[in-house]
Amino acid sequence: MKRLFSATALVLLFLFSGFAQAQQEWKPLNPNTTTRKYSTLLFLINNFYMDTVNMQQLTEKAIVATLKDLDPHSTYISKKNIERANEPLVGSFEGVGITFQLFKDTILVIAPVPGGPSDKVGIMAGDKIIKVDGEKAFGPKITNDWVMKHLRGKKGTKVMVSIFRHGVKGLLDFTIVRDIIPLRSVDAAFMLNKTTGYIKLSRFAQKSTEEFNQAIDSLKRLGLKNLIFDLRGNSGGYLSTAQGIAEEFLGPKKLIVYTQGIHSPRQNLYSSRAGNFKKGKLIVLINDGSASASEIVSGALQDWDRALLIGRRSFGKGLVQRPFRL
């Protein structure tokens, strides 16, 4: 297996890599041009500026602005938003039901939650939300908090979004009725014929491996020999869950993925046990909404000649995120 995913140092509190911390040499900063300069600036603002300033808010805005100069996946989540950011992987919530990322100050839809309100009205992976209830939804003001405030809401309430879709002239308007978002990882599991089963996995959440194994066991009782594993629209999740899912198809001691960055030595992630579906023909379905953990799993299965991949080019994230507390 030759697949490489570069590790990006993120200020995140809701994702974890599952890797043991490797030994590395820390690159020192020049305090005169970095930390000391900024600390002095905050001191001067706090003590000499003509008006009162919320120093905590000012600091958080500076962090957000700094990370915007890195890549679309490096982000900052404030303490008050941690629980909300965790919900798609560990709980439930009310809203429009999309996975998104902020890309160049624009809300980019990674994938609608299957069966959720956005999916029902036709929102697609790759759509860009340009307006929300007539208000511009792009530019420096757009943050994760802004998106949550405008797209979350009580079940039954409505929100209108204007969408830019590649290849379509003008904006597309959709009225979305907010609902309780279905958060089970396995959206479907059934037999297509006497020997071939189908499982659709929508995310790599805390209990996804458990749900997947329950589905496999259920289908085996119905005669499962071959499987179509659908990762279309699956925008990813926990790397440890991706490892657990990949292990179900691979034998032990198989390299699933490795990370390597300019400041991080190579770290390998191997399968550690025999899986629940190590034998039998396997087809994996992917599309442009298949990202992150989906790409790791599908890439590993392809590289080990365990599965045939069918569909469209995947999202192409190529990064493993790591959390750092501030």
Dig out the tokens for 40 from the structure.
């002095």
Dig out the tokens for 231 from the structure.
């990762």
Place of tokens 């600390």: 39
Q: How does DSSP classify residue 169? A: S
Which of the following is catalytic: 218, 225, 240, 303?
A: 303
Q: Rounded to whole angstroms, what are the CA distances from 66 to 23, 59, 88, 146, 279?
A: 27, 11, 26, 18, 48
Q: What radius of gyration do the chain's Cα atoms show?
A: 22
Per the annotation, the verdict on 303 as an active-site residue is yes
Q: Where are the alpha helices (DSSP H) in the chain?
A: 35-48, 55-67, 82-90, 117-121, 144-151, 208-220, 239-247, 293-303
Q: Please spell the DSSP secondary structure of 83-102, one letter per residue.
A: HHHHHHHHS--EE--EEEEE
Which of the following is catalytic: 202, 271, 292, 294?
A: 292
Per the annotation, the verdict on 136 as an active-site residue is no
Angle between helices 239-247 and 293-303 (to 10 degrees): 30
- What phi, psi does 35 have (nearest 5°)? -65, -40
Q: Please spell the DSSP secondary structure of 183-202, one letter per residue.
A: --SEEEEEESSSSEEEEEE-
3-class DSSP state of 156 = coil
Which of the following is catalytic: 128, 200, 254, 317?
A: 317
Long-range contact pairs involving 22-27 (C-beta distance under 8 Å, separation at least 24): 22/264, 22/265, 22/267, 23/265, 24/263, 24/264, 24/265, 27/263
Q: Rounded to whole angstroms, what are the CA distances from 44 to 34, 41, 54, 70, 209?
A: 16, 5, 14, 27, 52
Q: Measured between alpha carbons, how far is 141 from 287 in angstroms, rounded to an integer?
A: 31
Catalytically active residues, by annotation: 292, 303, 317
